[in-house]
Amino acid sequence: MPLIRLWLLMVLPFALWGTAMTAMAPLTNTNGPWLIAGLRLLPAGLALLLWILSTGRSVWIDGRDLGWFALFTLVDACLFQSLLVIGLSDTGAGLGSVLIDCQPLLVALLARGLFAESINPFGWAGLGLGLAGIFCLGVPGEFLNHWWLLADPPNIEQLLRPGEGWMLLASLSMAFGTVLIRFASRHSDPVTVTAWHMFLGSVPLLLLFGLQNKTKPIYWTLTDWGRIGFASLLGGALAYGLFFWFANHRDLTSFSSLGFLTPVFALATGGWLLGERLSSLQWIGVVLVLISVICMSQRQRLWQPTTDTGNFLRDGAPSPPCTGKYTDRCSR
């Protein structure tokens, strides 16, 4: 696959997620979070399953993966989508997408511990910049102005923003889901696992909506149905299918760091269509997280230490053996 096409496909899920956040934001206060979360997953799962059948791929999940699949569905479908929609109703598309996309930082730490993926000094610098950016985006300016006093007790409640908290919890669940896909698809097609987890994960969400809403009608316009259709089919089926395929085949730390690009698309579409604006401090946070993704995704190129012990490393590969024309290296 040509390099440019590969990068475009790798960036596409995050572009679709950013615009899907803008599409879903106006719907969050209409019929509750369970309906939006469920309708985002159900058509997406069905669409992926139909695509799998049409391409002749296996539509079954290996029995050895069922335990991990159940945990993956619970964490990434039910929990993540619920927290996402609840948080989105209080933050908006732009700020919400930035907070949700601190998950690359969490994925990097999980991948380091579980899969021994390296985080060199540039990677650690990227993590630090990303955390600083999230702090600027998620912490109210009033708290930063009076942090040393911790404000007066009556003002503390005003500084707490539950929407940001829900988004950070959603980010944590998505990070765990990104790691769990590798365990849930050890013997199964990752696209098939993604399709079934979206389809089955939508069932409890829609049941919760039915119990809460009972027989009340859904007052959505044609535009509203178009919004949820875009969020489900493009921001769901296509985006999640590509994301979990790459997450299962690429370096988790580098690939997930592209998630910091999602706010760029969400802020652009949110500002254009919804009139959302960020403060100066929050724009500083945006710049910091974008620098962070560069440091994390390019950390191997930016940091290539050498050693003079006879085995020289270049681009992560050992030098040729000390035989033939390479014998002179061994005498150094």
- Cα(93)–Cα(25) distance, rounded to whole angstroms? 6
- pLDDT for position 65: 94
Token code pair at residue 214: 């009972």
Element (H, E) at 15: helix 3-24
Least confident piece of the model among 44-58, 109-123, 278-292:
109-123
Give burial (CB, 10 Å; 0-12/13-18/19+) of 143: middle
Is 69 in contact with 259 (CB distance < 8 Å)?
A: no
More confident residue, 233 or 29: 233
Least confident piece of the model among 44-48, 78-82, 134-138, 177-181:
134-138
- pLDDT for position 229: 93
- pLDDT for position 278: 65
More confident residue, 274 or 37: 37
- pLDDT for position 166: 80
Share of the chain above pLDDT 70, in %: 61
More confident residue, 61 or 6: 61
- pLDDT for position 270: 59
- 70 C-beta neighbours (distance < 10 Å), count: 13
Mean pLDDT (whole number) for 267-276: 61
The pLDDT confidence band at residue 66, using thresholds 50, 70 and 90, is very high
Q: Is the pLDDT of residue 196 over 70?
A: yes
Where are the chain's structural domains?
3-304
Element (H, E) at 318: strand 317-318
What value does the CA radius of gyration of the chain take, rounded to a whole number of Å?
22
- pLDDT for position 33: 81
- Cα(18)–Cα(187) distance, rounded to whole angstroms? 31
Residues 6+ away with beta carbon under 8 Å from 5: none
The pLDDT confidence band at residue 188, using thresholds 50, 70 and 90, is very high
Token code pair at residue 156: 């503390």
Q: Is the pLDDT of residue 283 over 70?
A: yes
Is 260 in contact with 130 (CB distance < 8 Å)?
A: yes
Q: Which residues of 285-321 are buried (b: 16+ CB within 10 A; e: fewer)?
A: bbebbbbbbebbbebbeeeeeeeeeeeeeeeeeeeee
Mean pLDDT (whole number) for 203-219: 84
Mean pLDDT (whole number) for 132-143: 63
Averaged confidence pLDDT in the chain: 74
Q: Degrees (nearest 5) of the Cα angle 320, 321, 324?
A: 100
- pLDDT for position 8: 80
